[in-house]
Amino acid sequence: MMRNAVYPGTFDPVTNGHLDVIKRGSIIFDALIVSVGRNPLKEALFSVKERMEMIRGHVKELKNVEVDSFDGMLVDYLKKRKTNIILRGIRTVSDFEYEFQRALANRVLSKDVETVFVMTSEQYSFLNSTLIKEAVSLGGSVSQFVPLDVEKRLTQKFKKMHRKNDK
């Protein structure tokens, strides 16, 4: 039996920490679907299409990894993709508490859903997309936290925003 999993997230933007979890998940599972979620409660910097492009550019060598998107309930998306496994990366104890609550809620919504947690590599344990966006918006370099093309996209996005605000 093939073991397929979904790694959901907003990936706004994709970080080296996300890519670490994707690479490790691709070893654990027969197929891994990295799925960019549309979260109506979060205002994304990048469009879903842009986020998918950034991820695809960095997983193309991983033959068992697919990039997709979804909106709505994750458990419904899992059924659509014919899997019951969610992959999640854990950086800190607070991540675990948050993810533990989500895993239990998903299991209540769909009793056969399982969540597999992967500890993020220690060099990425403090990374999050908000920190990265804040650093770039203030003119900082994030080249050690995201791939170079992602940093360039971030810089361009914030330059456009600053120009628009200056008018």
For residue range 76-122, what is the model confidence (pLDDT) as tens digits?
999 999 999 999 999 888 889 999 999 999 999 999 999 999 998 88
pLDDT band of residue 161 (cuts 50, 70, 90) is: confident
Neighbouring C-beta atoms of residue 46, cutoff 10 Å: 22
**Residue 87: φ, ψ to 5°:** -100, 130
d(CA 6, CA 9): 10
Catalytic residue ranges: 18, 42, 91, 129
- C-alpha distances in Å from residue 5, one per residue of 66, 82, 100, 114, 136: 10, 9, 17, 10, 32
**CATH 3.40.50.620 assigned to 4-125:** yes
Check residues 41 and 141 and name the one with the higher pLDDT: 141
Beta bridge partners of 12: none
Residue with tokens 């299409």: 49
pLDDT value, residue 26: 97
Beta strands in 74-113 (DSSP E): 85-90
pTM of the entire structure? Answer: 0.92
pLDDT band of residue 164 (cuts 50, 70, 90) is: low
pLDDT value, residue 165: 66
What average pLDDT is seen over the chain? 93
